[in-house]
A and B are shown apart, each in its own frame.
Chain A
Amino acid sequence: MLIKRTQQRSQIASRGSIAAGMAGQTNGLDRRTFLRRSGLAGGALAALGTLPLGSVRTAKAAAAGPLTSGATVRKSICTHCSVGCTVTAEVLNGVWIGQEPSWESPINRGSHCAKGASVRELVHSERRLRYPMKLVGGQWTRVSWDTAINEIGDKLLEIRQKSGPDSVYWLGSAKMTNEGSYLFRKLGAFWGTNNTDHQARICHSTTVTGVANTWGYGAMTNSFNDIRNAKTQIIMGGNPAEAHPVSLQHLLEGKELQKANFVVIDPRLTRTAAHATEYVRMRPGADIPVLYGMMWHILQNGWEDKEFIKQRVYGFDDLRKEVEKWNPEEVERVSGVPGEQLKRVAKMLATEKPATLIWAMGQTQKTVGTANVRASCIALLLTGNVGAPGTGANIFRGHDNVQGATDVGLDIVTLPFYYGLAEGAWKHWARVWEVDYEFLQSRFDSKQIMETPGIPLTRWFEAVTLPREQVAQKDNVRAVFVQGHASNSITRIPESLKGLKALELLVIADPHPTTWASLAVEAGRRDGLYILPVATQFECKGSRVASNRSLQWGEQIVKPVFESKDDLEVTYLMAKKFGFADKMFKNIKVENDVPEAEDILREMNRGSWSTGYCGQSPERLKAHMKNQAKFDFLSMRAPKDDPEVGGDYYGLPWPCWGKPEVRHPGTPLLYNTNLHVMDGGGTFRPRFGLEREEKLPDGTTRKVSLLADGSYSKGSAIQDGYPEFTLASLKKLGWDTDLTAEEMATINRVNPANPDAVSWSLDLSGGIQRVALMHGCVPYGNGKARMNAFGLPDPIPVHREPIYTPRVDLVSKYPTLPDAKQFRMPNIGFSVQKAAVERGIAKQFPLVLSSGRLVEYEGGGEETRTNPWLAELQQDMFIEINPGDAADRGIKDGGWVWVTGAESNSRARMKALVTERVGKGVAWMPFHFGGWYAGQDLRGNYPKGTDPIVLGESANTITTYGYDPATGMQEPKVTLCQIAAA
């Protein structure tokens, strides 16, 4: 018979051998620890003071096992989504041996999802790329780093010589740290091109553009934690239960504690919808009609927030005219949503406040993505649901640092921190980088191209294959250098194969070979392809920005494994090869070819006034990670009297104004007039002029102010709207005397000819910001948010049918925008839509095809499909099809099917998942699979031993043409397909 454990344990303990090892170990569980581990502390459910505690585990005489004793604990941030969960790693002898819950993080409170709970495997995966390789005559061959960098560099310089700097496409990553993304963008600037992009293009570029054009900044207004304050949560175009699982901790607890409405509007009954109090099924692509349908009821019943609109909103009358067209009958005809249901939801949004609107790629990944998110913002403005706890546009970004990579300008339309590409922006960064503006200009083909947005990554292959005269730069793209981006995340894979073949050089810098490699080989490449092993983010240190704009500093958990190098080193080696490393790293310490992350952040701090990244010094960020436990779970604020982080909001969410010494606490909620700006308050940003001339019906014009009307942040010395601060405006107010002599000298250096024109965003001394803050004013001014975003393709959002729509009857009334040239490329969406209608495509391909995420995988999925703990859970690519559609086609659940697409004779073989999750006429695919193409298994195309465990067809083999005119966003969320049993 076996002995009982307690007996046994006491026997062992009494031997004393382990007892010696347990000195200093935790003495069992105290009540606080226990409750925290049981998932309760912090929540308002913790009315547990009355609990009998006698039964709580008493101290156990036990030691930490000898297997983990002596391990060092290091903290970094999960690399799988933008929630920003802290990962706590135990490291012993340089090996990451265990993961522990991160109880102290105010964001995840110990929790993870399947991906976060398995990140340790990513680092020591046996299937990682171990050393640089190149393709020689179709064979993968090992090369040294030196050889690789030299050969790649020589080829790039040759292409530059022949075709100009714009012929090299620099594709970076939302997976890099802020420092990595920033350096990559800086490399593009020094190389002389704006063809530098990353995943934000295909996830939230439309959010950034649409939302910034509404009220100033294109980011999540509130935070995950703050959603706990909402009385109504509307999730439209997102499935956070799978895409941002840890956010559901906040959403579901908020729903419970507030007895909140939890509304999900989606074509699919998602795992998030399974928890909804109200689920609204809509036709894919009809977001604007649904939103206008809600606004129609709001206006009809006078539920709009009249005071808020009067004080803080521009363009209400223009909106009203558009909304009037969307009566319940028309909304139901276009979107399929009954009027009564929408009325119910509209009433919740407008009257059961605070209400928040949550979205992700369901709204953004469309040809009307920018208009969609604009309509969402307008719904919030109409009901006064912005700028207060529990409200807001809670935009869930995708990757762990996609917000940061966007902010640091790894983008085709701007330099770091949204300064744009105009001469003034280049001169600003030339000052920050301490290089001559003329030098930067000399790197480009022309001043004109230097100030012209680059080519969106969605179009890279067309930039290679289109006739030269259609690509508005010196020559076609000849080489792609991709560092951390999946190729199977980009639509129209059959067309991209042509680009992969035609390129002169393809460089893949990544921990895995990715589908770039397997598809390039499939496309027929035999040479001119290099793969460089780059470290995962757990092997580097640096800052990352979560969706809520909080910056978190991740430590290096282990040193880069095998021959991997981190992103910063790779960028440095390229710069060195190109001969401009000295200039580019003038103010950044470099040791053994590795630039110091802290120095890079300090350089960003010195130049990022426009976005308020100036206050987040590496020292402050590290103090936040060290003191995580001190931040309140709901407000995310630390007690004011704390010596290190007193009064700060966790992660100093941007904008964090002024120099670090100003100790601005960060801004947890954007545009919140109820707080003093030094407590994180703010106003809408006037960045579209101070007044606008409007035409009246009688032919005359009037000027309308775009500044706030009687609304201002708490404690503001100016109690009305005001423009951005410049030296001139400080003088006018008599506040220029508050500037120190040193600040004044810097302002004079910034613009010796006209110091009065130096603004809050160009003043490198931070003085103008400091003085504005002193007087309780927001440096960027106090304006109105725009319902009418003049300057955008549709200033008031207009419904436009998807390029490939099953509702051809609606195309004549709601056509897509006319063909045009955008971002150096033709956008022929209108012609494609017209041809599709004329050719009866919707008859041949009658099913709407949409795509989305699975919880187990991330992005293009090569990394997560390589992780056995995750791969085991999702072993097959599949397509969801409604039982009615399946029955019509003789398709069985789990059976193989061929999916065919509306373009390029595309086809893909996968399994059918017959489910009512999708409505009749709609099919859905996860987008994380790759490594199969048109029924072919491409496993043999990967270098030996680096193939992911699970391979499958990519959703984007079937997706089709369609690009948002304002950002170049692709359209993977609505197209057409046909499905047949295989």
Chain B
Amino acid sequence: MARMKFLCDADRCIECNACVTACKNEHEVPWGINRRRVVTINDGKPGERSVSMACMHCTDAPCAAVCPVNCIYTTADGVVLHSKDLCIGCGYCFYACPFGAPQYPKVGNFGSRGKMDKCTYCAGGPEADGSREEYEKYGANRLAEGKLPLCAEMCSTKSLLAGDGEIIAQIYKERVMKRGYGSGAWGWKTAYRETIES
């Protein structure tokens, strides 16, 4: 089985936000919930770089470790998913996540949180693949259709890569070797405890 990962090549990212709206489009994500976003450092200064950010589907995901109801699980593809039926919206996972991935809809006054929502790697949730229930809770299940996450598929500059970790690491290595520079696979050390040698 493949181990699915994300890799954002910051030397290619132009902060065009295609990944963000592709995600909104594919899953009809409501206003205020951002499964993916683009973060820019040194904005407006020399050395400005952007990276596209979402759940990285970590190895031994820290969110899963702290979840009091055990609603977060890892699939055989290495995708970290959760069950909205079990989620109690406690917010622990948000504190545990090094990437700020978990999102919560505001469901009432006094700041009460709804069920956690985050990037599913376009792989839905525990319900039957491609079912209406799954779509309503988690959005589309592209992986089950043999497709990769739409954010990466639609990336304007092929900066955001999705797919088997070994393959996308290889693609990135080839790129860095060819062009002679690379700022590293952002977030990999934290998420996957590995870096890409180049």
Contacts and interface: CB of A to CB of B under 8 A. Distances in A.
Interface string A940-977: 00000000000000000000000000000000000000
Interface of B: 1-2, 11-12, 14-22, 24-26, 31-32, 43-50, 70-71, 73, 75-77, 79, 81, 83, 123, 126, 128-132, 134-135, 140-141, 143-148, 150, 152-158, 161-164, 166-168, 170-171, 174-175, 178-180
Given A271-B14, A855-B17, A916-B45, A55 B166 contact: yes
Contacts of B164: 55-57
A113 B130 contact: no
Contacts of B70: 1-2
B53 to A, nearest CB: 14
A39 B130 contact: no
A6 B126 contact: no
Contacts of A873: 17, 20-21
Given A8-B126, A269-B46, A271-B48, A63 B163 contact: no
5 contacts: A25-B145, A241-B15, A242-B14, A246-B157, A269-B46
Given A6-B76, A872-B31, A38 B171 contact: yes
Contact of B180 (A39, A64, A101, A259): A259
Contacts of A269: 44-46, 48
The 7 lowest CB-CB distance pairs between A and B, nearest first, are A65-B130, A39-B158, A917-B44, A114-B17, A256-B179, A62-B144, A245-B16
B131 A241 contact: no
Given A60-B143, A275-B14, 14 more contacts: A18-B129, A37-B148, A45-B174, A62-B143, A63-B129, A66-B130, A101-B150, A101-B153, A111-B18, A112-B154, A249-B156, A256-B178, A271-B50, A274-B49
B14 A63 contact: no
Given A4-B73, A45-B174, A63-B130, A40 B158 contact: yes
A38 B128 contact: no
Nearest to B127: A8
Contacts of B47: 274
Contacts of A101: 150, 153-154
Contacts of B150: 101, 117
Contact of B16 (A4, A255, A855): A855
Nearest to A26: B146
Contacts of A271: 14-15, 48, 50
Interface in A270-317: 271-272, 274-275, 279
Contacts of B126: 2-3, 5, 8
B2 A57 contact: yes
Contact of B48 (A52, A59, A112, A274): A274
Given A67-B135, A121-B25, A248-B157, A114 B16 contact: yes
B146 A29 contact: yes
Most buried by A among B123, B130, B140, B147: B130
A279 B46 contact: yes
Contact of A55 (B2, B19, B123): B2
A868 interface: yes
Nearest to B170: A51
B159 to A, nearest CB: 8
Contacts of B178: 44-45, 256-257
Most buried by B among A38, A110, A253: A38
Interface in A1-60: 1-6, 8-9, 12, 18, 25-29, 34, 37-40, 44-45, 47-48, 51-52, 55-60
Contacts of B154: 101, 110-112, 116-117
A896 interface: no
B119 to A, nearest CB: 15
A729 interface: no
Contacts of A746: none
A118 interface: yes
Contacts of A501: none
A272 B48 CA distance: 10
A351 B194 CA distance: 43
A440 interface: no
B155 A855 contact: no
A705 interface: no
B129 A113 contact: no
A856 interface: yes
B148 A111 contact: no
Contacts of A204: none
Contacts of A47: 174
Contacts of B25: 98-99, 117-118, 120-121, 869
